[in-house]
């Protein structure tokens, strides 16, 4: 069995996460038992939710344990199998974590290791557009925002994995889509490559009132639905533009992941505009994944979803790439190429 490079959470951050919170080690891969498979990871997913798990605080999931491999999505190849469910050479996606190899007990339970077809969809896309981020966009759009043709929808972190999938899905369903992103390059990419009708550069605004003016110009008929990944100023600005009975799907608050409070400046708008705001965790809705993945895969195959990726090379690069992701340095889905 191969030696296995791993990155552990060595200590918990105080304020901003730093490289010193992580530790690179090498361990021996255990011998396979009946029902287990050995997977060599080709790509590792880096996602904002991981920052919240680094804290030892109450949340929707347990904190990342100290001294253990950082959790995360992976796609790779089955090298050895003692399970009837997988054979060597199968490409699979799972939660292998920040390491080169994983030994996984094979089951058919929702969320378990599953085979993927890489004939028409690149392997790394199963960590983004046709993976958890894409399904996150699908659920928020269909179940909470409940899109209708002709509506105007807004999404923050527009050029990331969730935002790009949200745009493709919404456009395919006949909606007008406006993004919020950081910097002119990302905004140009959003409109020229991802199909956004407009994109607001939040870096050009110092407060929510200023950003809301730009949003009102981009959304002359108001905003019917908003997909929130960021929180803070972005949420305030969009709420000032929401139509009556608008719906907000809230799946991320990256502006507050370092422990900073995120006050809402205009809570009276929830009542005045009769808004529906619902937070959600996509892994609590595994029943919708097959339908969502089928639609997302179809968009990729037909060229309607062309996600961009930021690729860090090698496991040792994962911590720095992750910290960059939290500061918006990535352009598109952030992954780590392991082989």
Q: What is the dihedral of CA 315, 320, 325, 329, to 10 degrees?
A: -120
Spatial contact of 256 and 227, defined as CB atoms under 8 Å apart: no
Q: Indicate the pairing of strand 176-181 with strand 198-201.
A: parallel
DSSP calls for 8-76: EE-S--SSS--GGGEEEEEEEPPPP-TTEEEEEEEEEE--THHHHHTS-S--SSPPPPTTSBPP--EEE
Q: Which residues of 293-322 are buried (b: 16+ CB within 10 A; e: fewer)?
A: bebbbebbeeeebebbbbebeebebbbebb
pLDDT at 258 over 80: no
Q: Cβ neighbours of residue 250 under 8 Å, at least 6 residues apart?
A: 228, 231, 277, 278, 279, 280
pTM for this entry: 0.90
- pLDDT band, very low/low/confident/very high, at 136 (cuts 50, 70, 90): very high
The token pair that represents 72 in the structure block: 């995360």
Tens digits of residue pLDDT in 266-293: 999 999 999 999 999 999 999 999 999 9
DSSP-derived secondary structure letter, 202:
G
Phi and psi dihedrals of 77, rounded to 5? -120, 135
Q: Which domains does the chain have, with CATH numbers?
A: 3-128+308-337 (3.90.180.10), 132-283 (3.40.50.720)
Owner of token pair 């990155």: 7
First vs last C-alpha separation in the chain? 17
Owner of token pair 């105080």: 14
- pLDDT band, very low/low/confident/very high, at 256 (cuts 50, 70, 90): confident
Mean of the per-residue pLDDT values of the chain: 94
C-alpha 209/C-alpha 275 separation (Å) is 19
Nearest CA among 129, 101, 103 for reference residue 116: 129
Q: Cβ neighbours of residue 275 under 8 Å, at least 6 residues apart?
A: 239, 242, 245, 246, 247, 248, 269
Tens digits of residue pLDDT in 51-106: 989 998 877 778 999 999 999 999 999 999 999 999 999 999 999 999 999 999 99
Tens digits of residue pLDDT in 31-56: 999 999 999 999 999 998 899 899 98
Q: Output the CA–CA distances (angstroms, integers) from residue 39 to 4, 32, 80, 94, in the order listed.
A: 11, 11, 7, 10
Rg (CA), the chain: 20
Q: Cβ neighbours of residue 262 under 8 Å, at least 6 residues apart?
A: 231, 232, 235, 253, 255, 256
- pLDDT band, very low/low/confident/very high, at 254 (cuts 50, 70, 90): confident
- pLDDT band, very low/low/confident/very high, at 302 (cuts 50, 70, 90): very high
- pLDDT band, very low/low/confident/very high, at 334 (cuts 50, 70, 90): very high
Tens digits of residue pLDDT in 217-253: 999 999 999 999 999 999 999 999 999 999 999 998 8
Q: Specify the pLDDT at position 35.
A: 95
Spatial contact of 46 and 336, defined as CB atoms under 8 Å apart: yes
């Amino acid at each position: 069995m191969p030696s296995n490079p791993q990155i552990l959470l060595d200590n918990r951050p105080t304020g901003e996460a730093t490289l010193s919170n992580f530790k690179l080690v090498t361990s021996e891969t255990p011998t396979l038992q009946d029902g287990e498979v050995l997977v060599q990871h080709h790509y590792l997913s880096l996602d904002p939710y991981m920052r919240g798990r680094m804290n030892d605080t109450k949340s929707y999931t347990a904190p990342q344990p100290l001294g253990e491999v950082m959790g995360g999505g992976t796609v790779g190849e089955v090298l050895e199998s003692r399970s009837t469910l997988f054979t060597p050479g199968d490409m699979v996606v799972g939660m292998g974590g920040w390491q080169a190899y994983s030994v996984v007990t094979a089951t058919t339970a929702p969320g378990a290791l599953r085979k993927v077809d890489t004939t028409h969809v690149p392997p790394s896309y199963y960590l983004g557009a046709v993976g958890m981020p894409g399904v996150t966009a699908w659920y928020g759009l269909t179940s909470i925002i409940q899109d209708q043709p002709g509506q105007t929808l807004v999404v923050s972190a527009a050029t990331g994995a969730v935002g790009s999938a949200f745009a493709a899905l919404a456009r395919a369903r006949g909606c007008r889509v406006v993004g919020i992103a950081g910097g002119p390059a990302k905004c140009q990419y959003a409109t020229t490559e991802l199909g956004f009708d407009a994109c607001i550069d939040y870096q050009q605004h110092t407060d929510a009132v200023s950003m809301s003016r730009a949003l009102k110009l981009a959304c002359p008929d108001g905003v019917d639905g908003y997909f929130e990944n960021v929180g803070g100023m972005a949420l305030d600005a969009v709420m000032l533009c929401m139509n009556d009975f608008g719906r907000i799907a809230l799946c991320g608050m990256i502006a507050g992941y370092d422990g900073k409070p995120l006050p809402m400046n205009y809570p009276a708008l929830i009542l005045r505009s009769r808004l529906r705001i619902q937070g959600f965790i996509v892994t609590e809705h595994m029943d919708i994944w097959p339908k969502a993945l089928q639609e997302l895969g179809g968009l990729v195959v037909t060229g309607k979803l062309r996600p961009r990726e930021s690729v860090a090379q090698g496991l040792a690069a994962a911590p720095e790439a992750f910290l960059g992701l939290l500061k918006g340095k990535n352009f598109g889905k952030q992954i780590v190429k392991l082989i």
